[in-house]
């Protein structure tokens, strides 16, 4: 066994999560054998609605002990609305990991690849290639607030946005750092300081302050309204885009949608310092409408494996997975149904693993 060994907590979850996860793991194993590291897989059946049906909760009380100290969590998808309401399955699983492991960065690549139909007219691969960085722990999604005079004509409802110096600075540093490693070295900040008069000017101020630590990164800012329009109209102008919890939430769905099918997009919930494990998962959900048919596109899961390896320091292995994905997408006979092809989940996954081994 090589001295580079990673303990991966494998959590397939529900629906197509259980079908795409084996393909994600197949890619990991192929990359491990090619690049001389080892992956120790530890599979878990919790954080799923099946587990809920048997135990009445999404996860055991002692889930942290059961996970131990994994190098990373590799997650499929959660949710089965027929048996468990979405807010229960989500709060009981993914959001527990996010909070307990302080995964304060949500990271999503937006990249148009050959073989993927782009909803934006006239765009070619190469035109769209950027990252969305979302603050994942504070901001607009606070539970500070309440109702006054409920049920009366004077009813007033308030919800506070909470920004802390610690929370804002750490997400901005992550985003500037990512930009500094990219050829264009450009950071775009999402703001709305012309309308939100207290928190957003503070956000802008911290962008200026932190930018001083990154003299080789240039930065600009757009108000969220024109920024979303530009995702559609001028996606080529972006390199790394950073937003607060709410703005980042919107951008991190809009971005991957601009670059084609939801079936290929990956994401990371990251604790950059490595004090806690990070979690990598496809952007898509459990897709009950196509589950159990071996037709789901496994590329979102496989690309998540590449992000995970990159995070663990295996940049060459991550790059090999990416080029294998590109090779397979170019081949119409290896595309899944969502891309107009007829390949099964397993066909596509095996083809990617083969391409990784021979790349």
Positions in the binding site for ligand ATP (CB under 6 A)? 16, 79, 262-263, 284-287, 289-290, 296-297, 300, 338
272 binds, among ligand ATP, Mg ion, none (CB under 5 to 8 A by kind): none
Q: Give just the sign of the alpha carbon dihedral 344, 347, 351, 352.
A: positive
Size of the site for Mg ion (CB under 5 A): 2
CB of 181 to Mg ion, least distance (A): 33
CA 127 to chain centre: 21
Q: Give me 229's structure tokens.
A: 């329009």
Q: Give me 273's structure tokens.
A: 């310092």
338 binds, among ligand ATP, Mg ion, none (CB under 5 to 8 A by kind): ligand ATP
List, in order, residues 6 or more apart from 184 with CB less than 8 Å away.
Answer: 239
Contact 271, 70 (CB under 8 A): no
Check residue 17 for interaction with Mg ion (CB under 5 A). no
Degrees to nearest 5, angle at CA 311 with 353 and 345: 30
Degrees to nearest 5, angle at CA 132 with 329 and 121: 50
CB of 187 to ligand ATP, least distance (A): 27
3-state secondary structure of 163: coil
Which residue in the set 76, 79, 167, 282 belongs to the binding site for Mg ion (CB under 5 A)?
A: 79
Q: Of 221 and 335, which CB lies nearer to ligand ATP in the complex structure? A: 335
208: left (phi over 0), alpha (psi -120 to 50) or beta: alpha
Q: Of 16 and 163, which CB lies nearer to Mg ion in the complex structure? A: 16
Q: Of 217 and 287, which CB lies nearer to ligand ATP in the complex structure? A: 287
Q: Of 26 and 284, which CB lies nearer to ligand ATP in the complex structure? A: 284
Residue 341: which of 273, 239, 266, 264 has the closest Cα?
A: 264
Q: Which residue is nearest to Mg ion (CB)?
A: 285
CB of 261 to ligand ATP, least distance (A): 7
Distance in angstroms between the alpha carbons of the first and the last residue of the chain: 23
300 binds, among ligand ATP, Mg ion, none (CB under 5 to 8 A by kind): ligand ATP
275 binds, among ligand ATP, Mg ion, none (CB under 5 to 8 A by kind): none
Q: Give me 28's structure tokens.
A: 């990991």
Q: Of 263 and 277, which CB lies nearer to ligand ATP in the complex structure? A: 263
Piece in contact with Mg ion (CB under 5 A), picked from 30-38, 79-87, 144-152, 326-334: 79-87
Cα 46 from Cα 38, distance rounded (Å): 24
Q: Of 313 and 340, which CB lies nearer to ligand ATP in the complex structure? A: 340
β pairing state of 5-13 and 72-77 = parallel
Place of tokens 């320091």: 313
List, in order, residues 6 or more apart from 34 with CB less than 8 Å away.
Answer: 317, 320, 356, 357, 359
CB of 59 to Mg ion, least distance (A): 18
224 binds, among Mg ion, ligand ATP, none (CB under 5 to 8 A by kind): none
CB of 94 to Mg ion, least distance (A): 11
Q: Of 179 and 290, which CB lies nearer to ligand ATP in the complex structure? A: 290
Cα 267 from Cα 112, distance rounded (Å): 15
Which residue in the set 285, 298, 300, 341 belongs to the binding site for Mg ion (CB under 5 A)?
A: 285
CB of 340 to ligand ATP, least distance (A): 12
Interface residues with Mg ion (CB under 5 A) are: 79, 285
């Amino acid at each position: 066994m090589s001295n580079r060994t990673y303990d991966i907590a494998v959590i397939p979850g529900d629906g197509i999560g259980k079908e795409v996860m084996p393909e994600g793991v197949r890619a990991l194993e192929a990359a491990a054998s090619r690049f001389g590291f080892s992956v120790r897989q530890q599979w878990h059946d919790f954080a799923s609605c099946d587990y809920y049906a048997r135990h009445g909760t999404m996860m055991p009380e002692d889930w942290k002990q059961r996970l131990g100290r994994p190098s990373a969590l590799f997650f499929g998808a959660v949710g089965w609305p027929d048996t468990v309401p979405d807010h229960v399955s989500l709060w009981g699983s993914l959001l527990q990991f996010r909070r307990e492991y302080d995964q304060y960065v949500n990271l999503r690549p937006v990249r148009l690849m050959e073989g993927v139909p782009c909803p934006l007219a006239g765009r070619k691969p190469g035109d769209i290639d950027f990252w969305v960085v979302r603050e994942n722990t504070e901001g607009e999604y606070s539970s500070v607030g309440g109702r006054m005079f409920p049920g009366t004509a004077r009813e007033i409802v308030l919800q506070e946005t909470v920004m802390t110096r610690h929370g804002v600075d750490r997400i901005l540093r992550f985003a500037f750092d990512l930009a500094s490693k990219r050829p264009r070295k450009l950071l775009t900040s999402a703001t709305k300081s012309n309308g939100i008069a207290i928190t957003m000017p503070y956000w802008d101020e911290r962008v200026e302050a932190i930018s001083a630590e990154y003299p080789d990164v240039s930065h600009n800012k757009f108000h969220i309204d024109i920024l979303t329009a530009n995702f559609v109209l001028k996606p080529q102008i972006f390199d790394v885009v950073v937003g607060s919890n709410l703005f980042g939430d919107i951008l991190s769905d809009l971005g991957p949608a601009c670059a084609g099918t939801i079936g290929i997009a990956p994401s990371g919930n990251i604790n950059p310092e490595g004090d806690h494990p990070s979690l990598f998962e496809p952007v898509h959900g459990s897709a009950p409408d196509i589950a159990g048919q071996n037709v789901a596109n496994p590329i979102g899961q496989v690309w998540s494996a590449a992000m995970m390896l990159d995070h663990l320091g295996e940049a060459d292995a991550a790059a090999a997975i990416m080029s294998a994905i590109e090779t397979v997408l170019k081949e119409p006979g290896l595309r899944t149904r969502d891309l107009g092809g007829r390949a099964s989940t397993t066909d596509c996954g095996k083809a990617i693993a083969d391409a990784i081994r021979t790349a």
